Amino acid sequence: MAENKDIRPTDNSGDNTNLTFEAAIARLEEIVRALEGGGAPLDESLSLFEEGVSLVKLCNEKLDKAEQKVKLLTVGPDGTTSEEEDFGGTDK
């Protein structure tokens, strides 16, 4: 049974850059639940969707930065990585 929480778009005008990855994912999950519930008016649903898109972009950027940092940290003295690690995700 779906929980019908009254979730509103945040007032930060799309500025989610100060959120941690985990906080962004948690907010994204709230938005998905609210949109799947279908109880919000159209304008509010569109605002939530817009916020969700922004959060997905933020999460992707944070994941890309983390991946680059891991690659940087695993570079050997000869400039090559020891081995390509598969982190279990699917490539684009």
pLDDT mean by block of 10 residues, the chain; 92 residues: 60 76 98 95 97 98 97 84 65 59
Counting beta carbons within 10 angstroms of the beta carbon of residue 51, is it exposed (0 to 12), middle (13 to 18) or buried (19 or more)? Answer: buried
The 3-state DSSP composition of the chain as helix, strand, coil percent (nearest 5) reads 55, 0, 45
Cα(82)–Cα(74) distance, integer angstroms: 7
pLDDT at position 90, please? 67
Q: What is the pTM of this model?
A: 0.72
Give the CA angle between residues 35, 56, 50 to the nearest 5°: 50
